[in-house]
Amino acid sequence: MPSNFDKIAICRICQSADLQSILDLGEQPLANDLIDSDEQKEIFAPLELIRCNKCTTMQLSVNVKPELMFKDYLWVTGTTKTALEHLEKFSELIETKCSIAGKSILEVGCNDGSLLKILSQKSFHRLIGVDPAKNIIDAIEAPGLDLHPKFFDLQFATEYINNNDKVDIVVARNVFSHVPDLVSCLKAVNMVLNNDGIFIMEFHEASKIAEEFHYDSIYHEHTFYHSIRSVSEAANLAGMHPFDIDFSPISGGSFIIYFTKNERDKTESLKKSEIAEMNSGVLGYEKWKEFADSSRKNIGAIKEYLSKNANLKICGFGASARSSTLINAVGKEFHSLVGIADNNKLKNGKKSPGSQIRIESPYQLIDKSIDIVILFPFNFEKEIIDFLANELKWSGEIFLPLPYMPRIVKL
């Protein structure tokens, strides 16, 4: 029987074989492969973060077949107020940085079309969305969008420019951490982009992951854990050059980097960010060794908290990929949860991978009998706490496993 994953022997960017293990989280299920029947067979693969000692790129030790993770996808952008507010600001950045009147924009990994719908209210000439999750892209109701339920790669790019004009702007928001063959995908961006076009890439910044112990962001979809240096090197190999940077709150801290085909002078903001990254130590091995040690301590602290409160009624909030990694890293101590609340209706009634904890609407799950809510997606902490207090009128103890060491908030 063919394997569902392949172990890599060389760095995905520089091709060096000098790879070093940083944090091994064991065999884990695919984080977004929620269980919807007793007959469903789960897919497990090694979940190990490794470092290339030559180019410093942080990446996973295996490639899981993309069609197993992205063809029938359940994560959608539009279910959180925080994400939608960020997209409004993101659209304003595009408007400020690029002269958009009459121009075309292609979004790689457009998901439920939330960003494209916002951009459709502006003066773009053409809006194109590409995403392999056919179940999500087929459900988009937005006249005038040119949507393609496909993987964005060199084959797609070749077919596209054979039948269409090249585009002025390409956007990839937290997408190019997911692709094993990053340089090839960036060459596809170069192919569809006009000579004076701009490529905008958002990604969860490696320095935040290392400093705040974001080990929950490690899952099989996330092939890369990017630094400014790693994305710049990959883009250079694809014939593009960074010239500017912005900062994003998404994923607990992200960068937005702007690239062009023709090299431009770097902004002071980008120059300062590159220096800050170098000084942070995130390009070196010792920083990641500290991250691994801190992550293991965090897992131990969660185990201790759950064991101490085993006689109480506890539920989780947020059946995200992050929660799957964390739950499976901690193990059996989490199995006593009475459920995980999630506002995404596509997830309700299913079970979390590995642990098989049932996912329900918060309106059904969280009542006065719940003593403790474990808040998994810390990047939406304020929104979720407001929801618990003001919408559900719930009070009790909120346990936040991350970032840093666990903490407690009383409602």
CATH of the domain at 317: 3.40.50.720
Residues 168 and 198 in one domain: yes
- Are both 373 and 291 inside the same structural domain? yes
Answer yes or no: do 307 and 257 share one domain: no
Is 37 part of any domain?
no
Residue 43 lies in a domain: no
Which of 255, 283, 311 is the endpoint of a domain?
283
Would 61 be classed as within a structural domain?
no
pLDDT of 290-340, one tens digit each? Answer: 999 999 999 999 999 999 999 999 999 999 999 999 999 999 999 899 999
Do residues 330 and 84 make contact, with C-beta atoms less than 8 angstroms apart? no
Single residue among 264, 283, 302 that ends a domain in this structure: 283
| DSSP secondary structure letters along 175-186 | -TTS-S-HHHHH
- Looking at the fold, whether 176 and 323 belong to one and the same domain comes out as no
Torsion of CA 275, 279, 282, 284, to 10 degrees: 110
Tell me the two tokens of residue 25: 């989280």
244 in a structural domain: yes
Helix (H) or strand (E) holding 119: helix 114-119
Say if 378 falls within a structural domain: yes
Q: Is residue 2 part of a domain?
A: no
Residue with tokens 């790879």: 19
Same domain membership, residue 303 and residue 340: yes
Is-contact 315 323, C-beta < 8 A? no
Whether residue 291 sits in one domain with residue 158: no
Residue 391 sits in the same domain as residue 243 = no
User: Does any domain span residue 6?
Assistant: no
Same domain, 276 and 384: no
Query: If we measure between CA atoms, which residue out of 313, 368, 377, 281 comes closest to residue 79?
Result: 377
For residue 228, the domain's CATH number is 3.40.50.150
- In contact, 366 and 392? CB cutoff 8 Å: yes
Is 0.85 topped by the overall pTM? yes
> Tell me, what's the pLDDT at 73?
47
Pair 334, 234 in one domain: no
Asked, for residue 66, whether it belongs to a domain, the answer is no
> Which positions of the chain have pLDDT values less than 70?
1-2, 70-80, 100-101
- Whole-number pLDDT of residue 76: 53
Indicate if 261 and 361 belong to the same structural domain: no
Domain boundary among 249, 266, 283: 283
Nearest to 245 by CA among 205, 298, 293: 205
Structurally, the chain folds into a number of domains equal to 2
The range of the structural domain enclosing residue 254 comes to 77-283
- Report how far residue 338's alpha carbon sits from residue 314's, in angstroms, rounded to the nearest whole number: 6
Q: Do 272 and 291 share a domain, yes or no?
A: no
Statement to judge: residues 233 and 372 lie in one domain = no
Residue type at 336 in one-letter notation: S
